[in-house]
Structures are given as structure tokens and as C-alpha cells.
Amino acid sequence: MSVNYYHDKLQEIKNLKNKDYLGMNYQGYNIVLKLIDESSETISLITKWRKLYRNNFGSDFDIDENKTKKWIKNDVLLNADKIVFMIYVNKQKIGIISTSDFDKQTNSAILDTMMKDPEFELPGLMTTIEKIYLKWMFDELKLSKIRGFLFSDNEKMMKIHTKCGWKLIEVAPIEQVKTEEGTKWKIITSKKSERQIERYYNLIELTRNDLMKNFNDIEYRILCD
């Protein structure tokens, strides 16, 4: 599959701007995925969630609304390699899910940040959203494989990933290094004793076959194309 297919598809969706993109019904609730927007409500929510879950992210810095605003514009909307969707439940913004890092050689991309407002509870919703989103990545982005990584101590997320069919490929030791803005976790390449290692990344992969084993015929629709 050509590099351009992945990037062209993401751009096509970005051109749709604020149109509802993907929809499904979950236990009587109307679920919609739509391209992330630059509104002050969205900036405020993402900043709040990013602070709450800061320990689960690969990088850390002084999180504020100004940085979130720049992130949405430069790192997402103007970045051909990445897309972020806002998740709406009955029109309320409750979380995000995203894709990035296309790799031409393996025709794969990363399931990137996924997070939910902890104040919003609807059991099983995020597992279902992850499943339909991954199916969408395989079918609409025509990927052969999906890659992912997360801290090995993020057990809640790993449990959900396992239900979606992901396979653990490697547990990689990581170290925190300084960056211009703050800190970042990086895979350790030099030899270090076990004692010196603070945390690990789970490197995970998913095939369409493994996703479909436990998909349970969930239905969703692309609302505009």
C-alpha cells in the first residue's frame, strides 16, 4: 500500500472539519467520533485529562492550555502523519482516540493516545470504541498491522488491549531523559542492572485476524466520506 494512501485518507478526513465522522449505538447512547477541534471547550478538556493521566504518557512537561492549543494545531491538524478524534456520547465530549506514525515498510501505524474523562462512566464503552476504531484503522487506512506501546504498569489499559486481541511482543526497559520542555521516557539501549530500571514499556502488536476473534459483530457506520 502506498505511503500516500494513509496520508491522503487522514487529510480527506481533516478536510471534513467538524462533520460527524463515525457513529454507533452503545446501550441506547449515540456515540460519534469527530476530528478534534480547536474550541476553548476542547482545549480545556484535553488539558484537564492530560494532567490527570500524566503518569501514563511518554513525555511530561508543564501542561497548560496554551501548549494544548499548539499541540492540536501543529502536532495534529497540520501533521500529515497523525489524527485525533474526539469521542462524543449524546453530544458530550468524553474522550479521545488517535492514530500516528505510519511505517511504510510494514504498512503499519500506531494506535496512539486514547483516554476518557474519569468523571464519565459507561462500563465497556471504551473497550467497544477501541475495537471499532482498530477495525476502522484496518479497513479504512488499509493497514497490515497496528503497533502500540504503553507502560507495563498501565494495567487497566493493557487489560482492554488484550480483550481487543493485541499481543505482547516485548517488555522493554526505559529511562527518563531530559528534554527542552521537561522529560521523556526512552528505551534503554545500553546494559543496565535490573535494579537501576524504574519502568518498562510493553511493546504490542495487533493483526486484523486477532482483532476479529473477539469482535462480537459490533456495528458502526462511517457517517460521511
Nearer to ligand COA, 34 or 116 (CB): 116
The minimum distance between CB 218 and ligand COA, in angstroms, equals: 10
Nearer to ligand COA, 5 or 57 (CB): 57
Cell output for 119: 468523571
Would the CA dihedral through 8, 10, 13, 14 be positive or negative? negative
The minimum distance between CB 42 and ligand COA, in angstroms, equals: 16
Would the CA dihedral through 32, 34, 38, 42 be positive or negative? positive
The minimum distance between CB 27 and ligand COA, in angstroms, equals: 8
Residues in Cβ contact with 179 at an 8 Å cutoff, skipping those fewer than 6 apart: 59, 61
Nearer to ligand COA, 136 or 149 (CB): 149
Return the residue nearest ligand COA (CB atom).
Answer: 124
- Contact footprint for ligand COA (CB under 6 A): 53, 56-57, 113-116, 123-127, 154, 156-157, 159-160
Q: Which of 11, 9, 32 is nearest to 221 (CA)?
A: 32
Residues in Cβ contact with 192 at an 8 Å cutoff, skipping those fewer than 6 apart: 173, 175
Nearer to ligand COA, 53 or 215 (CB): 53
The minimum distance between CB 49 and ligand COA, in angstroms, equals: 8
The minimum distance between CB 148 and ligand COA, in angstroms, equals: 9
- Phi/psi class of residue 63: alpha, beta or left (left: φ > 0; alpha: ψ in -120 to 50)? beta
d(CA 210, CA 225): 27
Nearer to ligand COA, 29 or 57 (CB): 57
